[in-house]
Amino acid sequence: MSNRWEGIDEFVAVAESGQFTAAAERLGVSSSHISRQIARLEERLQTRLLYRSTRRVTLSEAGQTFLQHCQRLQDGREEALRAMGDLASEPKGLLRMTCAVAYGERFIVPLVTRFMGQYPQLRVEVELSNRTLDLLHEGMDLAIRLGRLQDSRLVATRLAPRRMYLCASPAYLERYGRPHSLSELARHNCLVGSSDLWALQQDGREISQRVQGNWRCNSGQAVLDAALQGMGLCQLPDYYVLEHLHSGALVSLLEAHQPPNTAVWALYPQQRHLSPKVRRLVDYMKAELAGLPEYRGT
């Protein structure tokens, strides 16, 4: 049985260069070798791929379609070879990543710094931003995202749980009472963070409820401080409030309406998921986050 790859590299070289001689120089073979391989390829396919003239080679309609498939085959083959070489290599070169500001400062950047201490050939650029950056457009290798995923073009790995808590201080509840239903939220002062839509659960499905109050700040830490001072109700992720729930400084409310667990995710473009620098950093962060007090028992 003939090698099914025979002639493909030669065909792509001719199609891309438009000449047999240029293709021969590119591949380091003779023009006659190129001509023979393509003739055999056309014979196997029973299809004319190229039209030859004295000056230039043009593609037939079938050749144009075949070229697109062959180029993808070549890209996949090269990616597979690089991946196998990467498996045994250590993280090195530049890794560009992004994360939300507060979560990145508190959790991700310290982990990345410790990870870099193990690999002296690795360079890392971290962009902390609360904007959802387009990894492909921005040339990023990795993003740490919180909540639910939107971009299906990316590969996702779950790093840690993320549970949202609705809570208030005992002083606030003593003064204004404890809400027992979602409808009662409207008469409470709600401390609004980056959004006035709170994720909640009702009848087994997630809903978004608009809340209002006399205080707003796009900082989770600031929302937490206001709640601890008895200013109102807040909704924050576990890593902000668990310590205060355990100490009694905050009280968890409407637990039956807590939204389904979301997560902390590592996202990366498809072609980066076998890169040692990305793969090992993601594995490292997942293991280290699991051992932090904020995540034990979540």
* Backbone torsions φ then ψ of 266, nearest 5 degrees: -105, 125
Return the pLDDT at 207: 85
Return the pLDDT at 1: 42
**Spatial distance between the Cα atoms of 136 and 151, rounded to a whole number of angstroms:** 11
Cβ(142)–Cβ(275) below 8 Å? no
Query: Helices in 46-125 by DSSP H: which ranges?
Result: 61-87, 101-103, 109-116
pTM, two decimal places: 0.62
Return the pLDDT at 206: 84
Tens of each residue's pLDDT in the chain, 298 residues: 457 778 899 999 999 888 898 889 989 999 999 999 999 999 999 999 999 876 788 999 999 999 988 888 887 777 777 666 655 567 888 899 999 988 999 999 999 999 999 998 889 999 998 888 888 778 888 999 988 776 667 888 999 988 899 999 999 999 999 999 999 999 999 999 888 899 898 888 888 889 999 999 988 899 999 999 999 999 999 889 989 999 999 999 999 898 876 789 999 887 655 678 888 999 999 999 988 877 765 4
Each residue of 166-180: pLDDT tens digit? Answer: 999 999 999 999 999
Return the pLDDT at 130: 84
Cβ(227)–Cβ(263) below 8 Å? no
Each residue of 205-248: pLDDT tens digit? Answer: 888 889 999 999 988 899 999 999 999 999 999 889 989 999 99
DSSP annotation string for 149-214: ---TTEEEEEEEEE-EEEEE-HHHHHHH----SGGGGGGS-B-B-S-SEEEEEETTEEEEEE---S
**Spatial distance between the Cα atoms of 78 and 288, rounded to a whole number of angstroms:** 33
Return the pLDDT at 260: 76
Return the pLDDT at 104: 93
Burial class (CB in 10 A: 0-12, 13-18, 19+), 114: exposed
The letter for the amino acid at 35 is S
Return the pLDDT at 205: 86
